[in-house]
Amino acid sequence: MDLGLKDKVVIITGGAKGIGSGISQVFAKEGARLCVNYRRDEQACLAFIRSLETEFGAQVIGVQGDMGFEEEAQRVFDKTIEAFGQVDVLVNNAGYCPTVDITEMDLATWEEVQRSNLTSMFLLSRLMVRHLRARGAGGAIVNIASKAGVSSTTKGRTAYNSSKAGVIGFTKSLARDVTEDGIRVNAVLPGFVRSSRTALRLQEDPHAMDSRLERVPIHRLGEPEELGNMVAMLASEKTVLAVGSVVDMTGGLLL
């Protein structure tokens, strides 16, 4: 299906790894122009970005920055405008997920998780809404939430789970505020998705991963591109009736 995303300008935070890489690939295939933000591992991230250009002929810029800091979020937005003239779609994907028992967690760790996972969405979304209102144009914001935002998960994830529950509330509240401006705001709820972290777990303890996957009705990990397909759909005008939706992409884990 042609989603009508050709030449749309898309910012994808944390867009060079894990779920973000799958989102970037799908938008590249659709012919969108991309700003792929990354935080660390510059050489690997830039190599991924170059692969989007080579494989899909995509127009892509890569911009390093921690989206939990106002000046760095502003720089990513400014670099995108400088390169492409506008922004049509924002995908808030960047996040941080440490495992720390609450008795051992210091305040700095708690605040870093909230800043990385939730404050970053506020900062980028505020820039996006200001930009679209100034243009008098509609657009789309898609937030990456988590199964952890609606149910318990691995021990030691109180900070992460709290931040992702906040993402769901933020998505619904923002949608209520900006839908009449023609700005569509929705979220995607991943479950167990293939990534470098899950690959390491499979290597270290394949039986433990098998036991986790037994809880998933489809009995396998999700693929980053499968999440990307849904994000692209929500970013397109094909799903104009989706307003403040949180789409379950857990493979049935929440049933």
Which of 48, 96, 160, 170 is labelled catalytic? 160
β strands within the chain, DSSP E: 9-12, 33-38, 60-64, 89-92, 139-144, 183-190, 246-249
**Environment class of residue 86 by beta-carbon count within 10 Å: exposed (0-12), middle (13-18) or buried (19+)?**
middle
Q: Which residues pair with 92 in a beta bridge?
A: 143
Q: What is the CA radius of gyration of the chain?
A: 17
* 180 CB-near residues (< 8 Å, 6+ apart): none
160 noted as active-site residue: yes
Q: What is the DSSP pairing of strand 89-92 with strand 139-144?
A: parallel
* Cα-Cα end-to-end distance for the chain: 29
Helix (H) or strand (E) holding 182: none
Distances (CA, A) of 47 to 21, 38, 88, 206: 12, 12, 25, 29
| Residue showing tokens 């659709």 | 30
**Environment class of residue 225 by beta-carbon count within 10 Å: exposed (0-12), middle (13-18) or buried (19+)?**
middle
Which positions are catalytic?
A: 160
